[in-house]
């Protein structure tokens, strides 16, 4: 695998023809924004490019879809580019099966990126893949359009939790400032409201129920919520609407560790952990076969809700006494 610089990647993109742009399964704001911004850059360079995703783009992100996305034009891809995909496994089964082993270029910001592509542009210091795409847009002979700015802004806003997390550095703020100056007609405030403030009525009712059932441990330093399939059905909340829920337990004043147990199917839970400050939740999740960042990590644990809760609290306790 070849490591590319920004300039080398720009040269690579100028050379490529007929690209399929792959994004990860359960698509989020960053991979969707990066995918469609890159597609538009390639279109401006006179190339054919389409974005391919294993899953349907959730309703809340559909405002990023271009009016003409080029999917009508069928062509055989000459090059395969993956954006924001840390591991070929994350492409989702059908996309992975067809293209997982033939990715030519991967553009990503996850330090955990597995070298599955022939070449890669990896910058772990970037807040979002969209921040890297923004930099590419500055050195490629392309014009910043309102649609590209909308996509790139949304990716950076969502991956930084609306510019709250540590990953939102000076480069991130300079990039969004430049987008706002170049494309002042984009409704940036609307994007933030839609992504971070607006919830469906069902989701708000779910939040109420989660507050009622919030569990407090370690003298209220550890807050746990459990989202069961029963709750989701009750309020007709879909997966995409749960984005950001992992930050919910940490809204409690004084909380250091926030744990969200999400029931995927009976006996199987997807766990998200968040740390407010000092506790390394990546270490806790690694004990359980997962991983991630120091302040945001995840893992999967099987068992009944009670069994899983006990396993999690045991792992938290161990890390807590080490800290
Ligand atoms: Mn990302």
- pLDDT per residue as tens digits for the range 58-96: 999 999 999 876 555 689 999 999 999 999 999 999 999
pLDDT tens digit string along 264-302?
999 999 999 999 998 999 999 999 998 878 898 999 999
Q: How many domains, the chain? A: 2
Q: Report, as ranges of residue numbers, the positions in the chain whose pLDDT lies below 50.
A: none
Kindly state the greatest CA–CA separation across the chain.
Answer: 60
> What does the block give as tokens for 177?
């400032």
- CA 30 – ligand 1 centroid, Å: 5
Cα of 297 from ligand 1 centre, angstroms? 14
CA of 235 to the centre of ligand 1 (A): 29
Distance separating alpha carbons of residues 168 and 171, to the nearest angstrom: 8
Q: Strand 105-108 vs strand 19-22: parallel, antiparallel, or unpaired? A: unpaired
Is residue 33 within 8 Å of 60, Cβ to Cβ?
Answer: no
**The CATH number of the domain where 73 resides is what?**
3.90.1640.10
Predicted local distance difference test score (pLDDT) of residue 239:
81
Same domain, residue pair 163 and 99? yes
Domain boundary among 165, 196, 227: 196
The model scores a pTM over 0.85: yes
Last residue of a domain, one of 196, 222, 251: 196
> What local confidence, expressed as pLDDT, does residue 322 receive?
78
Q: Which tokens is 79 given?
A: 């090059």
Question: Last residue of some domain: 166, 196, 226?
Answer: 196
- Expressed in angstroms and rounded, the spacing between residue 263 Cα and the centre of ligand 1 is 24
pLDDT, position 280:
93
Mark whether 296 and 241 lie in a shared domain: yes
107 and 224 inside one domain: no
Residues 141 and 179 in one domain: yes
pLDDT for the residue numbered 320: 87
**303 CA distance to ligand 1 middle (Å):** 30
Residue 302 structural domain: 201-322
Ligand 1 centroid from CA 33, angstroms:
10
């Amino acid at each position: 695998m070849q490591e590319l610089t920004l300039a080398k990647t720009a040269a690579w993109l100028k050379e490529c023809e007929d690209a399929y742009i792959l994004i990860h399964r359960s698509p989020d704001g960053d991979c969707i924004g990066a995918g469609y911004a890159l597609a538009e850059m390639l279109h401006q360079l006179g190339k054919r490019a389409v974005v391919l995703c294993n899953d349907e783009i959730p309703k809340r992100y559909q405002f990023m879809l271009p009016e003409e996305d080029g999917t009508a034009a069928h062509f055989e891809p000459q090059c395969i580019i993956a954006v924001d995909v840390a591991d070929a496994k994350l492409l989702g089964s059908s996309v992975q099966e067809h293209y997982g082993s033939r990715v030519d270029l991967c553009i990503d910001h996850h330090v955990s990126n597995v070298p599955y592509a022939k070449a890669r542009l990896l910058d772990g210091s970037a807040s979002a893949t969209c921040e890297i795409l923004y930099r590419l847009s500055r050195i490629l002979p392309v014009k910043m359009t309102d649609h590209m700015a909308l996509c790139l802004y949304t990716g950076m806003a969502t991956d930084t939790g609306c510019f709250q997390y540590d990953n939102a550095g000076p480069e991130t703020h300079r990039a969004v400032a430049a987008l706002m100056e170049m494309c002042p007609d984009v409704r940036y405030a609307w994007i933030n409201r839609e992504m971070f403030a607006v919830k469906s009525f069902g989701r708000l009712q779910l939040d109420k129920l989660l507050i009622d059932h919030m569990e407090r441990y370690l003298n209220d330093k550890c807050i746990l919520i459990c989202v069961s399939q029963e709750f989701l059905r009750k309020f007709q909340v879909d997966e995409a609407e749960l984005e950001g829920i992992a930050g919910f337990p940490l809204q409690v004043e004084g909380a250091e560790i926030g744990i969200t147990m999400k029931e995927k199917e009976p006996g199987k839970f997807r766990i998200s952990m968040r740390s407010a400050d000092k506790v390394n939740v990546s270490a806790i999740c690694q004990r359980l076969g997962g991983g991630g960042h120091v302040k945001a990590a995840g893992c999967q644990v099987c068992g009944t809700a009670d069994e899983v809760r006990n396993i999690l609290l045991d792992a938290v306790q161990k890390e807590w006494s080490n800290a």
